[in-house]
Amino acid sequence: MDSDTIKSLNARGLIAINIDSKTELLFTNRWQKLTSYKDAKHDKDFYIAFPEAIEYVEVQFKNDRKQFYRNTTGMPLEIGSLVAVEANPGHDIGVVCLTGREVIQQMKRKKSKNNNGELLNLYRIAKENDIDKFLDAIKNEEKVIKQTKKIIKEKGLEMKLIDVEYQGDGTKATFYYIADERVDFRELIKTLASKFRIRVEMRQIGARQETAKLGWIGPCGRELCCSTYKCVFSSVSITAASIQQLTLNPQRLAGMCTKLKCCLAYELPLYEKFITSLPPTDIPLITKEAKATYVKADIFKNVMYYSYENSDLLFGLPISAVIQIQELNKKGEIPEKLEEFAVISEYTVEESVSQEDLSKLEDE
């Protein structure tokens, strides 16, 4: 088996091994993307008690593509089973990645869209003939990617080809691309269909979806969330970074996709709740030393930072101390200086960043 076929198999979470001069495809978590986790392994008694759990399964295809299907086999399917599923037209080959009641939960979480109100059907466990057709189809993917990039360059089209995914029966291929503006690829489709003798579908994706397909290691040292488990991409704005009081530095806020990191949205509700619980931040603290204004807050230390006018020194005050000073000021009492209440002090570090640089990180 050539290296191109092995690469295409790995992108589907599969490895090939030879058993008695026969090629067997095995599912492995090592190469799987968008991993799904089951609470427990279900036995026969479980399916007798919950027959509806057999009805639906989630099937994984190349890289980050997954889809829900109606199980027409009438029997429980195991994670890692290679199956033939309904496609339009023909059939496709995928790997069962989630079964049982968790599938129904996933369908609700992902707000899965059905085909004309109904799920497509899962036909059967893949037969030897299905697997042979599947292998013949995907072995062409890497070659087609290289040739298509040359054709796009020759035609001068302003688009970037990301990936090509062949359907399991070899009758259709989906070309994933990125483009900043609308692209007229009608001539391109004719050229590709004629050259590769397949039905062509062009599908435009965004920068986040591109990174999910390619996969990489993030600045945190772990695999990218979008290429391991994240399946729904929510819009992230500079406001999320501001609320979390992060340094507005594009190099620190941008992910591998050159957009704002998805993880900025994870803790945002916690920060919003914390900020609303703070005493008024628009009221300065009056001391005999000088008037101090609010700069930022630390959610982990429960500290609010204030600084004197025209000063780079920040004083970290416990929330209770801020409330106390505000109450004293209301009564007309003025403390000597903030240092009496501060538990920490530091100097501000300002970074010059233009709004244009920050706006480029936001989703369009």
Query: Do 82 and 32 belong to one domain?
Result: yes
347, burial (CB in 10 Å: exposed 0-12, middle 13-18, buried 19+) = exposed
**pLDDT bracket for residue 119 (50, 70, 90):** confident
Task: Check pLDDT > 60 for residue 270.
Answer: yes
In this predicted model, which residue has the larger pLDDT, 311 or 306? 306
How many whole angstroms separate alpha carbon 138 and alpha carbon 320? 64
Query: Do 18 and 103 belong to one domain?
Result: yes
Strand order in the sheet with 303-308: 285-286, 291-298, 303-308, 313-318, 344-347
Q: What is the CATH number of the domain that holds 178?
A: 3.30.300
Query: Do 130 and 185 belong to one domain?
Result: no
Average pLDDT, the chain: 84
Question: Which two structure tokens, joined as six digits, stand for 218?
Answer: 């993030």
Query: Do 69 and 173 belong to one domain?
Result: no
Question: Which two structure tokens, joined as six digits, stand for 33?
Answer: 């993307």
Strands 56-60 and 22-27 come out as unpaired
In a domain, 108, yes or no: yes
Q: Which residues contact 342 (CB under 8 A, 6 or more apart)?
A: 315, 316, 317
**Residue 166 · residue 143 · CB < 8 Å:** no
Query: Do 14 and 128 belong to one domain?
Result: yes
Q: Per DSSP, which regions of the chain are E strands? A: 14-19, 22-27, 56-60, 66-71, 82-86, 91-98, 120-125, 160-166, 172-178, 199-204, 285-286, 291-298, 303-308, 313-318, 344-347
**pLDDT bracket for residue 331 (50, 70, 90):** very high
Say what the pLDDT of residue 285 is: 94
In a domain, 100, yes or no: yes
Task: Check pLDDT > 70 for residue 268.
Answer: yes
Please compute the mean of the pLDDT values over residues 336-350 and round it to a whole number.
83
How many whole angstroms separate alpha carbon 197 and alpha carbon 67? 26
Say what the pLDDT of residue 29 is: 64
Radius of gyration of the chain (CA): 28
In this predicted model, which residue has the larger pLDDT, 283 or 1? 283
Task: Check pLDDT > 80 for residue 35.
Answer: no
Say what the pLDDT of residue 362 is: 67
Say what the pLDDT of residue 41 is: 59
The letter for the amino acid at 351 is E
In a domain, 37, yes or no: yes
**Residue 179 · residue 204 · CB < 8 Å:** yes
In this predicted model, which residue has the larger pLDDT, 109 or 333? 333
Query: Do 179 and 122 belong to one domain?
Result: no
Of 183, 208, 233, the one marking the end of a domain is: 208
How many whole angstroms separate alpha carbon 39 and alpha carbon 52? 17
Query: Measuring CA to CA, which residue among 203, 201, 269, 257 is closest to residue 233?
Result: 257
Say what the pLDDT of residue 39 is: 52
In a domain, 25, yes or no: yes
In a domain, 361, yes or no: no
- Domain total in the chain: 3
Tell whether the torsion through CA atoms of 70, 75, 77 and 83 is positive or negative. Answer: negative
In this predicted model, which residue has the larger pLDDT, 33 or 346? 346
Query: Do 13 and 129 belong to one domain?
Result: yes
Task: Check pLDDT > 90 for residue 304.
Answer: yes
pLDDT one-digit tens code per residue, 153-163: 999 999 999 99
**pLDDT bracket for residue 43 (50, 70, 90):** low
Query: Do 8 and 124 belong to one domain?
Result: yes
Say what the pLDDT of residue 125 is: 93
Query: Do 81 and 97 belong to one domain?
Result: yes
Domain extent at residue 117: 3-134
Query: Do 73 and 16 belong to one domain?
Result: yes
Of 134, 164, 187, the one marking the end of a domain is: 134
- Model pTM score: 0.74
Of 119, 134, 149, the one marking the end of a domain is: 134
Q: What percent of the chain has pLDDT over 90?
A: 37
Task: Check pLDDT > 60 for residue 315.
Answer: yes
pLDDT one-digit tens code per residue, 124-151: 999 989 999 999 999 999 999 999 999 9
In a domain, 73, yes or no: yes
How many whole angstroms separate alpha carbon 210 and alpha carbon 130? 29
Say what the pLDDT of residue 358 is: 59
In a domain, 286, yes or no: yes
Say what the pLDDT of residue 257 is: 82
Task: Check pLDDT > 60 for residue 15.
Answer: yes
Query: Do 15 and 34 belong to one domain?
Result: yes
Query: Do 21 and 43 belong to one domain?
Result: yes
In a domain, 185, yes or no: yes
**pLDDT bracket for residue 219 (50, 70, 90):** confident
Q: Cα 134 to the chain's mean position, in Å?
A: 28
Say what the pLDDT of residue 236 is: 82
Please compute the mean of the pLDDT values over residues 155-177 and round it to a whole number.
93
| Alpha helices, DSSP H, located in the chain | 3-10, 44-49, 101-110, 128-138, 141-155, 186-196, 207-214, 238-243, 250-253, 268-276, 319-330, 355-359
Task: Check pLDDT > 60 for residue 82.
Answer: yes
